[in-house]
Structure 1
Amino acid sequence: MRIGLAGVGRIGAFHASTLAGIDAVEEVVVADLDTDLAQHVAADQGLSMAPDIDSLLASDPDAFVITTATTAHAELIRKAVAAGIPTFCEKPVAATLDETIALSELVEGLGVPVHVGFQRRFDAGYRRARAAVESGELGTIHALRALTHDRQPPHAAYIPTSGGIFRDCSVHDFDIVRFVTGHDVATVHATGGNKGADFFAEAGDVDTGAAILTLDDGTIVTATATRYSGAGHDVRLEVMGSEGSIAVGLDDTLALRSAEEGVTFPAGPPHDSFMQRFHAAYVAELTAFCDVAAGRAPVPCTVRDALQAFRVAEACERSRAEGRAVAMAEIADAPALAGVEK
Structure 2
Amino acid sequence: MTTLGLIGLGRIGAFHTDTLMNLPGLDGLLITDERPDIVKQIATKYGATPVDSVDALFASGVDGIVVAAATPAHASLTLAAVERGLPTFCEKPVASTATESAKVAEAIARNGVPVQIGYQRRFDAAFAAAKVAVDSGALGHLTTVRSTTMDPAPPPLDYIKGSGGIFRDCAVHDFDTVRWITGQEAVEVYATGTVQGDPLFTEYGDVDTAAVVVRFDGGALGVISNARYNGRGYDCRLEVHGFDDTVVAGWDQGVPVRNMDPENSGPSGFPVGQPHNFFMDRFTEAFRTELAGFVEVVKGGPVLGATVADAVEVAWIAEAAAESLRRGAPVTIKEVRES
Query: Could you tell me the TM-score, scaled by structure 1's length?
Result: 0.95
Q: Which residue of 1 aligns with 2:243?
A: 242
AA aligned opposite 1:271: H
Tell me how far 1:300 sits from its aligned partner: 2.6
AA aligned opposite 1:212: V
Tell me how far 1:296 sits from its aligned partner: 2.2
Within 1, Cα distance between the matches of 2:279 and 2:293? 20
User: Structure 2 stretches of 5 or more lacking a match?
Assistant: none
Do the aligned residues in 1 keep the contact of 2:119 with 2:305 (CA within 8 Å)?
no
Do the aligned residues in 1 keep the contact of 2:115 with 2:303 (CA within 8 Å)?
no
Deviation sequence 1:160-218 (CA, Å, 0-9, x none): 11111011111101111111111111111110100101111111100011111111111
Do the aligned residues in 2 keep the contact of 1:13 with 1:41 (CA within 8 Å)?
yes
- Same amino acid, percent of matched pairs: 42
Tell me how far 1:91 sits from its aligned partner: 0.5
Report SS of the residue matched to 2:16. helix
Deviation sequence 1:299-335 (CA, Å, 0-9, x none): 53111100101110100000110111111111228xx
Q: Which residue of 2 aligns with 1:307?
A: 312
| Range with greater deviation from structure 2 (179-188 or 256-265) | 256-265
Do the aligned residues in 1 keep the contact of 2:130 with 2:248 (CA within 8 Å)?
yes
Do the aligned residues in 2 keep the contact of 1:114 with 1:299 (CA within 8 Å)?
no
Within 2, Cα distance between the matches of 1:130 and 1:33? 39
- Count matched residues: 333
Report whether the alignment pairs 1:3 with 2:4. Answer: yes
AA aligned opposite 1:318: E
Within 2, Cα distance between the matches of 1:173 and 1:291? 26
Report SS of the residue matched to 1:332. helix
Report whether the alignment pairs 1:319 with 2:324. Answer: yes
Tell me how far 1:37 sits from its aligned partner: 0.5
Report SS of the residue matched to 2:15. helix
Within 2, Cα distance between the matches of 1:298 and 1:114? 7
Deviation sequence 1:255-283 (CA, Å, 0-9, x none): 11122235225223210100011000000
Report SS of the residue matched to 2:262. coil
Alignment of 1:16-165 (within 5 A): 16-165=17-166
Q: Which residue of 1 aligns with 2:291?
A: 286
AA aligned opposite 1:282: F
AA aligned opposite 1:200: F
AA aligned opposite 2:206: D
Q: Which residue of 2 aligns with 1:338?
A: none
AA aligned opposite 1:303: V
Within 2, Cα distance between the matches of 1:176 and 1:256? 21
Tell me how far 1:44 sits from its aligned partner: 1.5
Within 2, Cα distance between the matches of 1:46 and 1:325? 50
RMSD over aligned Cα atoms: 1.2
Within 1, Cα distance between the matches of 2:261 and 2:20? 45
Report SS of the residue matched to 1:331. helix
Tell me how far 1:141 sits from its aligned partner: 1.2
Q: Which residue of 2 aligns with 1:331?
A: 336
Within 2, Cα distance between the matches of 1:269 and 1:302? 34
Spell out structure 1 runs of 4+ moving beyond 4 A: none
User: Structure 1 stretches of 5 or more lacking a match?
Assistant: 334-342
Report SS of the residue matched to 1:24. coil
